[in-house]
Structure 1
Amino acid sequence: MTGTAQRGEQLLGVAVISTTPVAGGDVCTSTRMRLSDGRSAVIKTRPKAPEGFFQAEARGLAWLREAGGTSVPQILAVAEDCLIVEWIEPARPTVEAAEAFGRALAATHAAGAESFGGPSDGFIGLAPLPNRPLPTWPEFYASRRVMPYVRVAVQRGVLSPADAHDVERAVKRLPSLAGDAEPPARIHGDLWSGNVVWGQEDTAWLIDPAAHGGHRETDLAMLALFGIPHLQRVLDAYHEAAPLADGWEERVALHQLHPLLVHAVLFGGGYGLRAAKAARSLL
């Protein structure tokens, strides 16, 4: 029996019959465990994970699940070295599932948050995610989501000083770019297509969140950034359930600044240039 299976048995108190690697996931290793009680579960592990890494993910999953909107896997166990959640049997992403996902995501966002930010810091991928609350979304987005990653990107040589200056210029315009003020939404925070699992019965499930109180347009902008099946159906269904403020299409680049900068910090490549291009489109 593998060490992963043994760890699963320790935490769940149920025998593991077999294990199967789960494809995908650059940050963690995911393994499906078939349990002796007939259930299946996924255990996520990572050697030398940052302190509190899996606990932060578990808090985010539980918070999103409490909203009663988009489906979120049940947490079965969490420890310093791993997280175990229920297995979601995958299925083909249908138009019906996309529409249901759009409506459910609107309900999750509408559940709201106490503030822009959260009660504790977290992670996005392996990057630290500062969540200390600030009174308004422009303040929060500038101070907690954009500028920390600009500084690190410049230090790592994946964002030039000139490009960083353009991002800073866009940030200074945030109060006028942000549109009408909205209350904090309960957002996933890292909503690219890999963190949406299309399951049975036309149901989409959220995994791997960087959940916090933020702007609802942020989740939608990230879906658009990396693409998702039937994206337009998702957006249309969302807009029908919870109409977006005028001009939201023009703000997509603004909300994409953060994920582009995070990717620049984590993966380098051309993400720094893409972040600068997005910033310049806002000037």
Structure 2
Amino acid sequence: MIGFARRVAELTGVPPDRLERLAGGELSEVLLMRRPDGRLSVAKSSPAAGAEAAMLRALAGAGIPTPAVEGEHPPVLILEHVANDGVLSPKAWREIGAALARLHAVRGEGYGWPVDYAIGTVELDNRVSGDWPRFWAEQRLVSAARLLDRPWRERVDRAAARMADLLPAAPPPALLHGDLWTGNILVRDGRLAALIDPACYHGDPEFDLAMLTLFAEPPAEFHEAYGAPRQGAEERRPAYQLFPALVHLRLFGQPYAAMADRLLGALGA
């Protein structure tokens, strides 16, 4: 942290005594910057700062509130500070649902993203594909399990072999947030303030919904604002939730083994 703070101070001219560590930041170092003119900014360690900045701009272009990008200095990303009171009220959930519907209305020409990315040390193979079940099986599930122990890899291989039968062949290639859980949703005064830490690509919109429900249960207001689920979404949910479970197993180990085991079991693996 000392080295990161020194680098931020050098880049921005903000003295180290006006930098303070922010809560969270499990995968990145994050500092609150108190600028001389009174503005607050956030400095985040981001090995792919340019790619993350482009994703934030893509979200903003879809009408999603995001922190403004104030500077790109790989591996440092400087962002507008967005206040967050953490109160996910029914009104806030309604705004989140409406925002996600706007995001998913933006379509790509295939499944993937112009550049590869990573969540922590888990690399995301974003090569654009026209075959969604294959993309999900190979470029998400098998790829995420690549460095796990052999029994895990074998079970993931068996689950991946089912994707062609389980997933839709050609869902709408929606713009996805890609790492949507409540920790990446900022709210204030009952309103959606910003979505942060995206890992964007184009894919089945059911993935963002599945990941969001892996760690929380949005209330009726969210679902009313987003819209009705597609037929069969509940049966497909374990296939989509398995990916973030594998990512967490890779990054944080044993505490997520039971989750991954449960989802693999639901997929017959």
Instruction: Report the TM-score, using the length of structure 1 for normalisation.
Output: 0.84
**Corresponding residue for 1:157?**
none
Structural mapping, 1:129-168, within 5 Å: 129-154=124-149, 160-161=150-151, 163-168=152-157
Matches within 5 A, 1:28-39: 28-39=28-39
Match of 2:115?
120
Q: Please report how far the alpha carbon of residue 82 of structure 1 lies from its aligned counterpart in structure 2 after TM superposition.
A: 0.8
Cα contact 2:103–2:176 (8 A) shared by 1: yes
1:38 Cα shift?
Answer: 3.4
Query: Is the counterpart of residue 83 in structure 1 residue 77 in structure 2?
Result: yes
Look up the SS of the partner of 1:153 in the other structure.
coil
Query: Superposition pairs for residues 1-283 of structure 1, below 5 Å?
Result: 7-8=7-8, 11=11, 18-45=18-45, 52-68=47-63, 70-91=64-85, 92-154=87-149, 160-161=150-151, 163-179=152-168, 181-200=170-189, 202-227=191-216, 230-239=218-227, 243-283=228-268
Task: Report the CA distance between 1:268 and its aligned residue.
Answer: 1.2
Write the deviation string for residues 210-251 of structure 1: whole angstroms up to 9, x where unpaired. 1111211111111111126x4443233212xxx331111221
Q: Is contact 1:35–1:41 with CA below 8 Å preserved after alignment?
A: yes
Question: Which amino acid in 2 is paired with 1:267?
Answer: F
Query: % of aligned pairs identical?
Result: 37
Unaligned runs of 5+ in 2: none
Structure 1 residue 4: Cα displacement: 6.0
**Residues in 2 aligned to 1:151 and 1:272: alpha-carbon distance in whole angstroms:** 15
Report the 3-state secondary structure (helix = DSSP H, G, I; strand = E; otherwise coil) of the residue aligned with 1:165.
Answer: helix
Change (3 A) 1:186 1:215: same
The Cα of 1:81 is off from its aligned counterpart by: 2.4
| CA displacement at 1:137 relative to structure 2 | 1.4
C-alpha distance in structure 2 between counterparts of 1:281 and 1:195, whole Å: 27
Contact in 2 for aligned 1:164/1:276 (Cα 8 Å): no
Q: CA deviation at 1:276?
A: 3.4
Shift in Å, 1:110: 1.0
Task: Classify the secondary structure of the residue corresponding to 1:41.
Answer: strand
TM-score by length of 2: 0.88
Distance between the aligned counterparts of 2:97 and 2:17, measured in 1? 37
Alpha carbons of structure 1 residues 258 and 13: separation in structure 2 relative to 1, 3 Å: same
Q: Which runs of 5+ in 1 are unaligned?
A: 155-159
- Aligned residues of 2:70 and 2:78 also touching (Cα < 8 A): yes
Select between 28-37 and 255-264 the one with higher mean Cα deviation. 28-37
1:93 alignment partner, SS class: coil
CA deviation map 1:117-150 (0-9, x unaligned): 1111001123211111111211111111000122
Amino acid at match of 1:29: E
